[in-house]
Chains A and B, each alone.
Chain A
Amino acid sequence: MPRIYLDYNATTPLDPSVLEEVTNILKNYPGNPSSVYEEGRAARILIEDSREYVKSFLDAGNSGEIIFTSSGSESINLGIIGATYAYMQNNKKKNPHIITSRVEHHAVLNTFKFLESAGVETTYVGVNEFGGLLLDDLKSAIKENTILISIMGANNETGTIFPLKQIFEEVKKIKGDIIFHSDLVQVIGKSYFSLKDVPLDLCSFSGHKFYALKGCGALYIKKGVDIDPIIHGGHQERGLRAGTENIGGIVSIAKGLNVLKNNMHEELDRINNLGSIFLDKLFYGIEGIKLNGHPVNRLKNTINISFDGVKSETLLFNLDLYGVSASAGSACNAGAVSLSHVLKAHGYDAKRIESAIRFSIGRFTTEGDIDYAVSAIKKGVLKLRAGN
């Protein structure tokens, strides 16, 4: 049976040229980048070249620095906790307030929860039924002690894109010294982004969402933004992230972005077009379905659909048996699916949330895959509806 992989928002397969590059590095660069002799220097240069490449990809110029980490989650933790702790160190008498949205990834939400336990005040801003951020609520939530706002670029579950530029500018108009962090994990590789366009203070992303290795990520820190490290030890990564660098992972990020950039317009056009075809075929082929999230302002690769009268967990398992990989909500360590906090925040009823599945396509998805998937989904949905 074929395997049709429709879960690119969860992770992407490694691009062959990234694999080739990483294999070469792992074979030929055994040194510790901190070492003072030749092997060390060679490894050091690789990392610094990768850093420069990432900066140029983001149009960062000399505006700030890239810190390599182990993941999107670590980058987010470092950005949010690091900035908040640094503030608390410098302003011991003031209790900081931080704001995010209800539809963020758990990496952000649980970092906020963690900071609550350290006495930090938090506000969670909601979204409307299309997943659009309630910008007026965000603006009115800003207080005298608000020091950081974290708003994602695009939602991992629905693909809904937030108008980052507008949000950023409105926030800065109200209080210029607020540190604006954005989780760009789903943006990089699926959409265009430039720091020239939106001069964020902090942003996080993850290699394995754009065909690089799992276990590597990066945080961009604008000059002047004060960050405390959360991993302590050596002076690696400008003193902000101790631990011998993951050279293979770091190089894979740069190479992944390089592959992306070389063919960006064509690739995004193709994937967006394919996503639209997928959506059309689903709506044409299956009755009683609803698109979740924003109908227009969305990553076209991401299709989050509720199927009337079907339990998403059961449909997922059936699709797996047909060879189709997709996902729903978020899975715990053991793999049990729990209800999506993102769709809850949209105000959808329980049935719509319980029947929602996310399909996400990418570089290696073909139109044939889409056709196979649509017929498998149809088969599964009809079977489950007949059983009810």
Chain B
Amino acid sequence: MLIKSNKIVAVAMSGGVDSSASAVILKNRGYSVIGVSMHLISKDLNSSSGLKTCCSTEDIIDAKRVCVKIGIPHFVINMEKEFKTEVIDRFVSEYLDGKTPNPCILCNCVMKFDLLLKRIKELGADYLATGHYARITKNKIGRYFLLKSKDLAKDQSYVLYNLSEKNLKNIMFPVGNLNKNQTRKIALDAGFNEISDKKDSVEICFVPDKDYAGFIKKQSIDASNNFSNKGLIKNLEGETIGEHNGIFNYTVGQRKKLGISSKNPLYVVKISAENNEIIVGNLEDCFSDILILKNFNFINTEDKKRLQEMKITAKIRYSSPNYNCRASICNDGSIKIIFDEKVKFITPGQSAVLYSGVKVIGGGIIK
């Protein structure tokens, strides 16, 4: 596996096991490796939400410790301003608009594979590596493709659908061919006992207590945003059956904390930002066989031409299964997905990602 290379790879280090193992793997392959960590959030914002975040000082120190131990440089890149405007502010405004965004997708797209990639190029690095579970392959004629990871249970290709063939050339996912136990073993063998025990981050890093509503409220008040408060909860017949405390407290599919008594469980079916209304219905009302995607990104542009003919599947959120479906391109450029069977809880603001087998075609945001 040893590549004689004077190529420089910058590894985005979170202080976690996957990125730490990535650095070790690349160093063992003979690359010149430098570690970089993004400083995304300051203590002030931390304390306003009352909790630590995934990119906290402790994690950056862990990353630094790993780098010092394996003998590579480590740089902390201050991207706090960009994270605020590109990720947090957009997260908040989407939520206030009744959507349920996935900020990790924005963070990967804008922070890591655009801004950080540019910054590490300035450092003289040839490649950016991250600890994502996904694979990049190159065919005989030099085309690059994004694939699910070998360990399908760990696959993170969903959050990477905004990549393009152009930047795939500059990106590496060293753990994409491994399963989690193999990754842990690499970290353990390198002497990172504590790091190899770290839990995977599963929450939105800047809202670690999962209190999204509280976070949105705090951020909105800080920015003196005008967010609408109380409104009506209606059923699908348009009858008012309750009141809500601001639409940002709700997501599609939510069943708890609706404050309405009913003999059948009620679910949020739709959030109407323009009317400041929450529409609820029965579980059956939460199924649909169609969705529209905006801001769709094709990883390989030629897939655009043959999208209609392709046998594809779609994931409608990070943890959803792959549903069989067909897709077509609408006149306004948005993508229409028709599922073979109805699917549950299609949530506006979340991303849907299209696959052909294990290959990622691309993805967009559910309208």
Taking Cβ atoms with an 8 Å cutoff, the residues of A that contact B are: 311, 313-314, 317-318, 320-321, 331-338, 383-384, 387
- Asked if A321 meets B60 with Cβ closer than 8 Å, knowing A313-B77, A334-B39, the reply is no
Q: Tell me if B80 counts as interface (CB < 8 A to partner A).
A: yes
On chain B, the residues within 8 Å of A318 by CB distance are: 122-124
Query: Contact check: which of A333, A337, A384 meets B122 at CB < 8 Å?
Result: A384
Asked if B122 and A311 make an inter-chain contact with CB atoms under 8 angstroms apart, the answer reads yes
Q: In the assembled complex, how far is the CB of residue B207 from the closest CB belonging to chain A, in whole angstroms?
A: 20
Considering the complex, give the chain A residue whose CB is closest to the CB of B38: A336
Docked pose: A317 CA to B124 CA in angstroms = 10
On chain B, the residues within 8 Å of A311 by CB distance are: 122
Asked if A336 and B77 make an inter-chain contact with CB atoms under 8 angstroms apart, the answer reads yes
Given contacts A317-B75, A320-B75, A331-B76, 12 further A-B contacts (CB under 8 A): A313-B77, A313-B78, A318-B123, A321-B123, A332-B39, A334-B39, A334-B57, A334-B61, A334-B76, A336-B39, A336-B78, A337-B78
On chain A, the residues within 8 Å of B61 by CB distance are: 334
Q: In the assembled complex, how far is the CB of residue B307 from the closest CB belonging to chain A, in whole angstroms?
A: 36
- Asked if A334 meets B123 with Cβ closer than 8 Å, knowing A313-B77, A313-B78, A321-B73, the reply is no
Docked pose: A338 CA to B42 CA in angstroms = 11
On chain A, the residues within 8 Å of B78 by CB distance are: 313, 336-338
Taking Cβ atoms with an 8 Å cutoff, the residues of B that contact A are: 34, 37, 39, 42, 57, 60-61, 64, 73-78, 80, 119, 121-124
Q: In the assembled complex, how far is the CB of residue A117 from the closest CB belonging to chain B, in whole angstroms?
A: 15
On chain A, the residues within 8 Å of B42 by CB distance are: 332
Considering the complex, give the chain B residue whose CB is closest to the CB of A336: B39
Query: Contact check: which of B34, B64, B121 meets A335 at CB < 8 Å?
Result: B64
On chain A, the residues within 8 Å of B76 by CB distance are: 331, 334-337
Asked if B122 and A314 make an inter-chain contact with CB atoms under 8 angstroms apart, the answer reads yes
On chain A, the residues within 8 Å of B34 by CB distance are: 321
27 contacts across the A-B interface (CB closer than 8 A): A311-B122, A313-B77, A313-B78, A314-B122, A314-B123, A317-B123, A318-B122, A318-B123, A318-B124, A320-B73, A320-B75, A321-B73, A332-B39, A332-B42, A332-B57, A333-B57, A334-B37, A334-B57, A335-B64, A335-B74, A335-B75, A335-B76, A336-B78, A336-B80, A383-B124, A384-B122, A387-B121
On chain A, the residues within 8 Å of B37 by CB distance are: 334
Docked pose: A383 CA to B124 CA in angstroms = 9
Q: In the assembled complex, how far is the CB of residue B188 from the closest CB belonging to chain A, in whole angstroms?
A: 25
Docked pose: A335 CA to B76 CA in angstroms = 6
Q: In the assembled complex, how far is the CB of residue B67 from the closest CB belonging to chain A, in whole angstroms?
A: 11
On chain B, the residues within 8 Å of A320 by CB distance are: 73, 75
Q: In the assembled complex, how far is the CB of residue B85 from the closest CB belonging to chain A, in whole angstroms?
A: 15
Docked pose: A333 CA to B42 CA in angstroms = 11
On chain A, the residues within 8 Å of B80 by CB distance are: 336
On chain B, the residues within 8 Å of A384 by CB distance are: 122
Q: In the assembled complex, how far is the CB of residue B192 from the closest CB belonging to chain A, in whole angstroms?
A: 19
On chain A, the residues within 8 Å of B57 by CB distance are: 332-334
On chain B, the residues within 8 Å of A387 by CB distance are: 121-122
Asked if A334 and B122 make an inter-chain contact with CB atoms under 8 angstroms apart, the answer reads no
Considering the complex, give the chain A residue whose CB is closest to the CB of B42: A332
Docked pose: A113 CA to B216 CA in angstroms = 28
Considering the complex, give the chain A residue whose CB is closest to the CB of B61: A334
Considering the complex, give the chain A residue whose CB is closest to the CB of B37: A334
If over half of B's interface residues share one DSSP class (helix, strand or loop), that class is named, otherwise mixed; here it is mixed
Asked if A314 and B39 make an inter-chain contact with CB atoms under 8 angstroms apart, the answer reads no
On chain B, the residues within 8 Å of A335 by CB distance are: 39, 60, 64, 74-76
On chain B, the residues within 8 Å of A338 by CB distance are: 78
Docked pose: A332 CA to B121 CA in angstroms = 24
Docked pose: A321 CA to B36 CA in angstroms = 13
On chain A, the residues within 8 Å of B124 by CB distance are: 318, 321, 383
Considering the complex, give the chain B residue whose CB is closest to the CB of A333: B57
Q: In the assembled complex, how far is the CB of residue B56 from the closest CB belonging to chain A, in whole angstroms?
A: 8
Considering the complex, give the chain A residue whose CB is closest to the CB of B78: A336
On chain A, the residues within 8 Å of B60 by CB distance are: 334-336
Docked pose: A311 CA to B77 CA in angstroms = 12
Docked pose: A320 CA to B57 CA in angstroms = 22
Docked pose: A317 CA to B39 CA in angstroms = 15
Q: In the assembled complex, how far is the CB of residue A240 from the closest CB belonging to chain B, in whole angstroms?
A: 30
On chain B, the residues within 8 Å of A317 by CB distance are: 73, 75, 123
On chain A, the residues within 8 Å of B74 by CB distance are: 335
Docked pose: A317 CA to B60 CA in angstroms = 16
Q: In the assembled complex, how far is the CB of residue B212 from the closest CB belonging to chain A, in whole angstroms?
A: 26
Considering the complex, give the chain A residue whose CB is closest to the CB of B74: A335
Docked pose: A311 CA to B122 CA in angstroms = 9
Considering the complex, give the chain A residue whose CB is closest to the CB of B75: A317
Considering the complex, give the chain B residue whose CB is closest to the CB of A311: B122
Considering the complex, give the chain A residue whose CB is closest to the CB of B64: A335
Q: In the assembled complex, how far is the CB of residue B62 from the closest CB belonging to chain A, in whole angstroms?
A: 10
Q: In the assembled complex, how far is the CB of residue A343 from the closest CB belonging to chain B, in whole angstroms?
A: 16
Docked pose: A321 CA to B73 CA in angstroms = 8
Q: In the assembled complex, how far is the CB of residue A179 from the closest CB belonging to chain B, in whole angstroms?
A: 31
On chain B, the residues within 8 Å of A333 by CB distance are: 57
Q: In the assembled complex, how far is the CB of residue A293 from the closest CB belonging to chain B, in whole angstroms?
A: 23
Q: In the assembled complex, how far is the CB of residue A341 from the closest CB belonging to chain B, in whole angstroms?
A: 15
Q: In the assembled complex, how far is the CB of residue B108 from the closest CB belonging to chain A, in whole angstroms?
A: 20
Considering the complex, give the chain B residue whose CB is closest to the CB of A338: B78
Considering the complex, give the chain B residue whose CB is closest to the CB of A315: B122
Q: In the assembled complex, how far is the CB of residue A227 from the closest CB belonging to chain B, in whole angstroms?
A: 30
Docked pose: A91 CA to B34 CA in angstroms = 58
Docked pose: A321 CA to B6 CA in angstroms = 14
On chain B, the residues within 8 Å of A383 by CB distance are: 124
Q: In the assembled complex, how far is the CB of residue A361 from the closest CB belonging to chain B, in whole angstroms?
A: 23
Docked pose: A337 CA to B75 CA in angstroms = 10
Docked pose: A183 CA to B64 CA in angstroms = 32
Considering the complex, give the chain A residue whose CB is closest to the CB of B32: A321
Q: In the assembled complex, how far is the CB of residue B58 from the closest CB belonging to chain A, in whole angstroms?
A: 9
Q: In the assembled complex, how far is the CB of residue A284 from the closest CB belonging to chain B, in whole angstroms?
A: 25
On chain A, the residues within 8 Å of B121 by CB distance are: 387
Docked pose: A383 CA to B121 CA in angstroms = 11
On chain A, the residues within 8 Å of B119 by CB distance are: 314
Docked pose: A272 CA to B204 CA in angstroms = 52
Q: In the assembled complex, how far is the CB of residue B306 from the closest CB belonging to chain A, in whole angstroms?
A: 37
Considering the complex, give the chain A residue whose CB is closest to the CB of B63: A334
Q: In the assembled complex, how far is the CB of residue A303 from the closest CB belonging to chain B, in whole angstroms?
A: 22
Considering the complex, give the chain B residue whose CB is closest to the CB of A332: B39
Docked pose: A314 CA to B39 CA in angstroms = 14
Q: In the assembled complex, how far is the CB of residue B347 from the closest CB belonging to chain A, in whole angstroms?
A: 34
Docked pose: A331 CA to B122 CA in angstroms = 20
Considering the complex, give the chain A residue whose CB is closest to the CB of B39: A336
Docked pose: A166 CA to B82 CA in angstroms = 44
**Across the A-B interface, the 3 shortest Cβ-Cβ residue pairs:** A336-B39, A336-B78, A334-B60
Q: Which of A313, A314, A336, A384 has the most CB of B within 10 A?
A: A336
